[in-house]
Amino acid sequence: MITVVLLGAGNVATHLYKAFKTSDTVTMTQWYNRSYSAISSYANEVDTTDDLSQLKEADIYILAVSDDCISEVSKGLPFENRLVAHTSGSVSVHDLDKKNQRAVFYPLQTFSKNAELDFSEIPICIEVTEKQNLQFMKDLAGALGCKPYKITTEQRQTLHLSAVFVNNFTNQLYRIAHEISDAKSINFDILKPLILETAKKVQDMSPYMAQTGPAKRNDKKTIRRHLKQLENEEHKAIYELLTASIRKTHGASTKLSNQKKTNDTTSGH
């Protein structure tokens, strides 16, 4: 049985707690958070504390805290030579205080407290500073039904950057689409099957091969009409930037701005 002390009470920590509690091979020894009110409702399920000096002994201490707090919290741990891991996608493993054995346990997924997740579908990126801890970290991922990936800090930080594009930026585009459709009293739910199919396609083919739309097929007339429809200048700029990027990726020889000038002089609107 793997014993775990969890530190932090944000989105990642909350989901990790739920996953550990349902695992047959993990025991949640303790849950720490500096603001006790965030974890007080779990006091009947697990030992809880807001005092670092009262941390119990465990096989691993997982710091699921904000990136800016990782170094500070790890320095405040009242013990040495125990295994301590953080869950960040962008922070170096060396930001953890070297008085302890250091590792990273990074679940590559988007976390919202009220959204249910199947941990068996989440890849866990693992990094260790002591080789003898690698198998333990893999076993911990396996205890959640996750597939572990041994990667370097540079690779993990690159994954985190890529994740911002596929998750955060994509979600912002959903928000813009919601705003555009809502302005014309169109139910955003109509777009949801398209969102799901777009995500589904890249499971079986590359994003390059999955690309469709007016920018890829060089449909100048549709592009001009879309730009004319957009009333928000920020939305228009985003449309132009992404259109130019798609056109460049798929072999367009000129930028959209140059094409617009040419189109405006050769054909009417």
Q: pLDDT, tens digit, for every residue of 80-95?
A: 999 999 999 999 999 9
Q: How confident is the model at residue 257 (pLDDT cuts 50, 70, 90)?
A: very low
User: What does the pLDDT read at residue 182?
Assistant: 96
Residue 3 and residue 21: Cα distance in Å, rounded? 11
Residue 68 and residue 221: Cα distance in Å, rounded? 48
Considering the domain architecture, whether residues 161 and 132 belong to the same structural domain is answered as no
Q: How confident is the model at residue 8 (pLDDT cuts 50, 70, 90)?
A: very high
What average pLDDT does the segment 123-131 reach?
Answer: 96
The answer to whether 144 touches 121, Cβ cutoff 8 Å, is no
Considering the domain architecture, whether residues 87 and 174 belong to the same structural domain is answered as no
Considering the domain architecture, whether residues 79 and 129 belong to the same structural domain is answered as yes
Half-sphere exposure of 215 (CA within 13 A, CB side): 20
User: What does the pLDDT read at residue 133?
Assistant: 97
Range of the domain at 187: 156-266
User: What does the pLDDT read at residue 255?
Assistant: 44
Considering the domain architecture, whether residues 93 and 144 belong to the same structural domain is answered as yes
Tokens of 178: 């919601």
Indicate if the pLDDT at residue 203 is higher than 70.
yes
Considering the domain architecture, whether residues 108 and 179 belong to the same structural domain is answered as no
Tokens of 26: 């993990």
Considering the domain architecture, whether residues 134 and 240 belong to the same structural domain is answered as no
Considering the domain architecture, whether residues 131 and 194 belong to the same structural domain is answered as no
User: What does the pLDDT read at residue 264?
Assistant: 45
Considering the domain architecture, whether residues 60 and 141 belong to the same structural domain is answered as yes
- Work out how many domains the chain is built from and give that number: 2
Indicate if the pLDDT at residue 239 is higher than 50.
yes
Share of the chain above pLDDT 70, in %: 93
User: What does the pLDDT read at residue 175?
Assistant: 97
Considering the domain architecture, whether residues 161 and 32 belong to the same structural domain is answered as no
CATH number (domain holding residue 77): 3.40.50.720
pLDDT tens-place string over residues 15-43: 999 999 999 999 999 999 999 999 999 99
- Decide which of 116, 151, 186 is a domain's last residue: 151
User: What does the pLDDT read at residue 252?
Assistant: 63
- Decide which of 100, 125, 151 is a domain's last residue: 151
User: What does the pLDDT read at residue 111?
Assistant: 84
Considering the domain architecture, whether residues 160 and 123 belong to the same structural domain is answered as no
**Rounded to whole angstroms, what are the CA distances from 2 to 65, 139, 187, 205?**
21, 9, 48, 38
pLDDT tens-place string over residues 218-236: 999 999 999 999 999 999 9
Q: How confident is the model at residue 129 (pLDDT cuts 50, 70, 90)?
A: very high
Helix spans in the chain (H): 11-22, 70-75, 134-143, 153-163, 170-183, 192-201, 207-210, 220-229, 233-249, 256-266
- Please state the length of the chain: 269
pLDDT tens-place string over residues 161-171: 999 999 999 99
Considering the domain architecture, whether residues 95 and 173 belong to the same structural domain is answered as no
DSSP state of 56: P
Considering the domain architecture, whether residues 53 and 114 belong to the same structural domain is answered as yes
DSSP state of 91: S
What average pLDDT does the segment 121-126 reach?
Answer: 94
- Decide which of 93, 116, 151 is a domain's last residue: 151
